[in-house]
Structure 1
Amino acid sequence: MPDTLDDTAVAGRLRDLPAWSRDGNQIRRRVKAPSFPAGIDVVTDVARAAEDADHHPDIDIRWRTLTFALSTHSAGGLTAKDFDLAATIDRIAARHGAE
């Protein structure tokens, strides 16, 4: 089981991910895709990356707006896995022209 990060480590990791914010024991990011189909493409690519990482975000889809939430439930908090997948989500969103 991965180790949870303390508040200092979480703050440090968030500095590298400015689009993400902490919400209790999770980190969240809202992404606006250029179109609904582009948003679904983002979700599809995130789903593939999540499967590869064996770490799965909560995803809310509202037309072109996608909200991603990450937490390592098995560890009871935030771990490096959350921040690694967050960085991957950022790259995927950018590749699809989402902001």
Structure 2
Amino acid sequence: MQIGDRVRVKTSVIVYHHPDHRNEAFDLQGSEGEITGHINTWQGRPISPNYPFQVKFGSKFRAHLRVDELESAETASTEAVSGEVIAR
């Protein structure tokens, strides 16, 4: 996954900072967004963050997610069109 890729949240991820659902539990599963950042260095040194991908959902909301919580939106839509169900 690279910056600019369209992604979909494939697992249940509960957040409390969504602007339309402030201070309420909101599940991001199924939401689509764009990767706007991949954090792997800090002050020039390599790091291993727990949530390395910054994903932008709409104009007001961003979240940091792990790679196992995301799938390519293009891949997911292709599978839906072909009608195939792939166990993962």
Question: Which range, TM-score by smaller chain?
Answer: under 0.3
Say which one has the larger Rg.
2
Query: Relative contact order: is structure 1 or structure 2 higher (C-alpha 8 Å, sep ≥ 6)?
Result: 1
Superposition TM-score, scaled by structure 2 size: 0.27
- Return the structure number with greater helix share: 1
Superposition TM-score, scaled by structure 1 size: 0.25
